[in-house]
Structure 1
Amino acid sequence: MTTPSAGLIDVHHHAIPPVYRAALGDSVAIPGVDYPTWTPQASLEVMDRHGIAASVLSVTAPGVGFLEGDERIRLARAVNEFYAGLIAEHPSRFGAFAILPLPDVAAAKDELGYAIDELGLDGVGMLTSYGNRYLGDPEFEPLLAEIAERGLPLHVHPAAPPAKDLATFDLPPSLYDFTFETTRTVVSLLFNGVLERLPHLKLIVSHAGGTLPFLAKRLTYGPTIGKYLTERAPADVIASLRGLYYDIAMSANEYALPALTRLADPEKILFGSDFPFMPAEHTTETVAGFNAYPGWNDEQRTAIGWANSLKLFPRFASAGHSAT
């Protein structure tokens, strides 16, 4: 199979390793969501059909959080080793975000070292919350600090809201609540000062940032609404939000992209498909929306399609992917 010398890089592309599917068993992965089948070949076929040169794989919700203790640690290790084997077979086509056995931060730091230093994975994947804690919780900051110090991309994917008594109207959380979960975790990082303390954290948020583009200005009103937030509010909320990376999975349309483009520098926007949880037909729709959006010029479209990702994932450049 040949690799395109230039093509899209998909940073929001899910894998379902056999060991993960077996461990999940009959558990409900995401309430109300039809769980897809997946094989590496299915990904490659969709990628080839849509001009996607490379994809960075990740496991979506619930991560490994449905297990406890050593079982959680073992499954994270098995998934990361599966990724490494797949990358060895297809080094120019696949990368992977390491999965960590959170909320155990000590075990997560151990697995981070193994996944990056021994397996050579490309970054880290985390969920928006673990237990009842979002990523701005002080417990997670040492782990985030190590990820930032290592210069690793961190892809954050939403999970079902941790509040079990939350009314969902019998609708799957991924239909609309995932966008709010992304917003909640970023707001927790903002108002707990994490983003200011870790300015070099390469944080990628899913689905065009959830509702962040729409709420960006509103989030600057914290001290106006409650004076007690004066000390907690970031010095410049908009600048902090503009420092994040945003993938366009499920968002390459005329409603989401104008708001995202107004908030985010094109150098911070990345292509994403959400395959296979969104089927191949949706990848077709996403690629069409990416190509048709009139708010980007050709240089910006090149940056968003792959050049920005090459800076985050230089292995693809060394594997022959060109930004021109």
Structure 2
Amino acid sequence: MITPVVDFHGHLAVPAADELCAGTEGLAAEFAAEQRAHAPESLAANRAQLSRLRPKLTDVRARLADLDAMGVDIQVVGPMPMHHYWADEDLAQRLARTTNEAVAAHCAQAPERLCGLGTVPLQHPHLAVELLQEAVTGLGLYGISVSTSVDGRELADPAHDPVWAKAEALGAVVFVHPWGCSLGERLAVHYLGNTVGQPVETTVALSRLIFGGTLDRFPGLKLVAAHGGGYLPTYIGRSDHAWQVRQDARGCAHPPSTYLRRMWFDALVYTPRGLRHLVEEAGADRVVLGTDHPFDMGVEDPVARLDAAGLDPGARAAIAGGNAMDLLGTVRRAPTPTHH
């Protein structure tokens, strides 16, 4: 049997969830922060892009046509990574359920080709546990997408441990995808907030999870990091050095580089050399394809880029789809008429 090509990084817009936030103080504050973090030219380009891409972000036929053009058999589809972690319990519950039901309904239109990820309100951990269970065992989703921080609180904060415990128990995927950057106005020019800032956010979030011992406490947690894990795999040697020479850096049981082989990374690093380096640091069994479909910072030729890296056939097959199928195949989700 030929292993399908799997893209682990697709996005869905959920207008019904956006409507629930409309007019709230929290959304106004979120937009204000976004305006501070982007120059007017970038904000205008973002608005134009969202308007232009709306069909690709909502219409399953447009999505499937794009997947066909990219040579992708299966796509993991998560919500736009705006999780609104400022929301109170009532709104947070409605947002998560609305989003998760929309993802499930979208994927149900092509269940052989689309696998959904939902969202949970990490700002309310016990509610998040309940909604994670519901998303996976009730709606048949494969896990959740999370941002790199939770309204100022780190993913590695022990407050979130009940959520990681539930994800581990379910075998659920936790896809780490930044939205914005805490460096804010320093990166507001030239679209640096995304180009540089988002990889920084991922690097910091994963480093906190590693150094803080989260991955020691939850060794079975299936973390998948967008955008190749940011800058973390590129300079992991410095983390190892600090762990060896500084007692205050010893928050984890093993050298930090060993934890790269306990998580997964999408291959969205743009260059053949970058992909070879990621494979060298994390292992060919820890990399999955990722397109960031349908956004302009994504790629439309994931298979050609994988081929350009010149990896051996086993590594290529694993990254093209084998690793993703292994990740998805062990989620203890609601049975649906699919073959994943």
1:301 aligns with 2:316: yes
Residue 126 (structure 1) shift: 0.9
Residue 278 (structure 1) shift: 2.8
Whether the aligned pair in 1 keeps the contact of 2:199 and 2:229 (CA below 8 Å) is yes
Alpha carbons of structure 1 residues 223 and 101: separation in structure 2 relative to 1, 3 Å: closer
Residue 212 (structure 1) shift: 1.0
**1:106-255 alignment runs, 5 A limit:** 106-162=126-182, 166-172=185-191, 173-223=193-243, 226-230=246-250, 232-249=251-268, 251-255=269-273
Distance 1:72 1:320 in 2: 32
Distance 1:315 1:195 in 2: 19
Partner of 1:314: 329
Alpha carbons of structure 1 residues 223 and 102: separation in structure 2 relative to 1, 3 Å: closer
Distance 1:289 1:176 in 2: 21
User: Deviation digits for residues 24-81 of structure 1, max 9, x if unmatched?
Assistant: 6596496546134222222111101111111111123322336443122201101111
Q: Alignment identity in percent? A: 26
Deviates more, 1:285-294 or 1:128-137: 285-294
Alpha carbons of structure 1 residues 284 and 160: separation in structure 2 relative to 1, 3 Å: closer
> What amino acid does structure 1 have at the position aligned with 2:112?
S
Distance 2:151 2:190 in 1: 21
Alpha carbons of structure 1 residues 6 and 48: separation in structure 2 relative to 1, 3 Å: farther
Whether the aligned pair in 2 keeps the contact of 1:10 and 1:271 (CA below 8 Å) is yes
User: Deviation digits for residues 264-286 of structure 1, max 9, x if unmatched?
Assistant: 1111100111011237xx53343
Residue 102 (structure 1) shift: 2.4
1:87 aligns with 2:107: yes
Whether the aligned pair in 1 keeps the contact of 2:222 and 2:264 (CA below 8 Å) is yes
Residue 22 (structure 1) shift: 3.6
Whether the aligned pair in 2 keeps the contact of 1:6 and 1:53 (CA below 8 Å) is no
1:288 aligns with 2:304: yes
Secondary structure in structure 1 of the residue aligned to 2:239: helix
Whether the aligned pair in 1 keeps the contact of 2:7 and 2:76 (CA below 8 Å) is yes
Whether the aligned pair in 2 keeps the contact of 1:132 and 1:163 (CA below 8 Å) is no
Distance 1:42 1:157 in 2: 23
TM-score by length of 1: 0.87
Whether the aligned pair in 1 keeps the contact of 2:229 and 2:266 (CA below 8 Å) is yes
Which residue of 9, 23, 27 maps to 1:12?
9
**1:50-69 alignment runs, 5 A limit:** 50-65=70-85, 67-69=87-89
User: Deviation digits for residues 72-93 of structure 1, max 9, x if unmatched?
Assistant: 2201101111122222221111
Whether the aligned pair in 1 keeps the contact of 2:216 and 2:252 (CA below 8 Å) is no
Residue 215 (structure 1) shift: 1.6
Aligned residues: 312
Secondary structure in structure 1 of the residue aligned to 2:320: helix
Residue 23 (structure 1) shift: 4.3
Whether the aligned pair in 2 keeps the contact of 1:179 and 1:207 (CA below 8 Å) is yes
- The two structures, once aligned, show a CA RMSD in angstroms of 2.6
Distance 2:128 2:82 in 1: 16
Whether the aligned pair in 2 keeps the contact of 1:222 and 1:233 (CA below 8 Å) is no
| Structure 2: gaps (5+ residues) | 332-336
Whether the aligned pair in 1 keeps the contact of 2:203 and 2:232 (CA below 8 Å) is yes
Which residue of 269, 280, 288 maps to 2:287?
269
> What amino acid does structure 2 have at the position aligned with 1:248?
A
Distance 2:94 2:117 in 1: 17
User: Deviation digits for residues 191-225 of structure 1, max 9, x if unmatched?
Assistant: 11111121111110111110011121100122456
Distance 2:249 2:307 in 1: 42
Alpha carbons of structure 1 residues 71 and 278: separation in structure 2 relative to 1, 3 Å: same
Whether the aligned pair in 2 keeps the contact of 1:61 and 1:160 (CA below 8 Å) is no
Secondary structure in structure 2 of the residue aligned to 1:65: coil
Distance 1:16 1:24 in 2: 14
